[in-house]
């Protein structure tokens, strides 16, 4: 709930009536608030940082009934500008397809952050040779989630999250730790769901194929593109994860 709204917790039947400014946990995704004396159902607003269109497909499918979603595309880690444009286009395509579906439970909005690869390159100085999954990746998560937390706070979102955990290559514990810390700093709840669980990654591959989305063959930065992990050859057209045939 936004600060100052009169609220009751979903299903509790217990009117709070205080200007508490508290947010509900992930199991209380909706709220009821007073609108000129009338109680009205309202979904929590979620700023969903997205690493790419393919990873966002299964996350949006999972959350669209429970949250009012705005996708936040901020990815300075994609150091090749042509690649960045292709991924942004895939993100736009997915949102257009999703929003035009008659079965979509809600429309999804898009906010595109500044493309600033130099910020990423500077932040990773000294970690260019780190293996994928090492310190450089934690710096990368922090950069992207810090911008998402800042935007969510500035624009009054109830919570924020990221599609990064869809990938089998991404450390959910690190994402949850970093997102939680930034959420505390910015006063916005971080939804720390591991979106690869419950078939989330396989579903993202399935939906990306069905929608004809561009699926990249490497994570994003020029350092990972050179190889990094020995199994990188398995990642052709895999979104941010390994190809499932």
CA distance 35 to 76: 40
Binding positions for ligand SF4, 206-235, rule CB under 6 A: 219-221, 223-224
Closest CB 166 distance from ligand SF4, rounded Å: 13
Closest CB 105 distance from ligand SF4, rounded Å: 31
| 4 conformational bin, left if phi > 0, alpha if psi -120 to 50, beta if neither | left
CA distance 179 to 188: 10
Closest CB 196 distance from ligand SF4, rounded Å: 15
Q: b or e along 96-122 (b: 16 or more beta carbons within 10 Å of the residue's beta carbon)? A: ebbeeeeeeebebebeeeebebeebbe
* 17 versus 227: smaller Cβ distance to ligand SF4: 227
Q: Does 140 bind ligand SF4 (CB under 6 A)?
A: yes
Residue 15 is encoded by which pair of tokens? 């009117």
Number of residues that bind ligand SF4 (CB under 6 A): 10
* 23 versus 163: smaller Cβ distance to ligand SF4: 163
Q: β-pairing, 159-162 with 189-190?
A: parallel
Closest CB 52 distance from ligand SF4, rounded Å: 11
Binding positions for ligand SF4, 60-119, rule CB under 6 A: 77
CA distance 156 to 21: 12
Q: Which residue has the tokens 């992207």?
A: 144
* 92 versus 229: smaller Cβ distance to ligand SF4: 229
Torsion of CA 110, 113, 115, 116, to 10 degrees: -160
Closest CB 96 distance from ligand SF4, rounded Å: 26
* 30 versus 132: smaller Cβ distance to ligand SF4: 132
Closest CB 83 distance from ligand SF4, rounded Å: 11
Q: β-pairing, 109-112 with 30-35?
A: unpaired
CA distance 149 to 188: 7
Q: Could you give the string, one character per residue 120-139, with x where binding to ligand SF4 holds by CB under 6 A and - elsewhere?
A: ------------x---xx--
* 29 versus 170: smaller Cβ distance to ligand SF4: 170
DSSP 40: E
Binding site for ligand SF4 (CB under 6 A): 77, 132, 136-137, 140, 219-221, 223-224
């Amino acid at each position: 709930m936004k600060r100052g709204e009169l609220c009751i917790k979903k299903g509790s039947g217990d009117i709070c009536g205080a200007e508490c400014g508290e947010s509900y946990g992930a199991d209380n995704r909706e709220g009821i608030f007073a609108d000129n004396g009338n109680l009205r159902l309202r979904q929590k607003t979620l700023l969903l940082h997205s690493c790419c269109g393919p990873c966002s497909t299964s996350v949006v499918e999972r959350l669209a009934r429970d949250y009012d979603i705005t996708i936040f595309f901020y990815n300075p880690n994609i150091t090749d500008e042509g690649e960045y444009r292709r991924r942004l286009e895939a993100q736009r395509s997915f949102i257009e397809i999703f929003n035009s579906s008659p079965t979509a439970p809600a429309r999804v909005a898009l906010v595109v952050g500044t493309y600033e690869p130099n910020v990423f390159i500077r932040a990773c100085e000294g970690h260019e040779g780190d293996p994928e999954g090492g310190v450089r990746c934690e710096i990368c998560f922090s950069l992207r989630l810090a911008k998402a937390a800042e935007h969510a706070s500035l624009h009054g979102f109830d919570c924020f999250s990221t599609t990064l955990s869809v990938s089998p290559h991404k450390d959910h514990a690190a994402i949850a730790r970093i997102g939680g810390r930034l959420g505390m700093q910015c006063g916005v709840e971080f939804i720390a769901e591991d979106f690869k669980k419950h078939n989330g990654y396989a579903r993202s591959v399935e939906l990306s194929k069905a929608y004809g989305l561009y699926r990249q063959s490497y994570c994003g930065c020029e350092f990972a593109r050179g190889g990094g992990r020995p199994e990188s050859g398995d990642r052709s057209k895999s979104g941010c994860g390994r190809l499932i045939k």
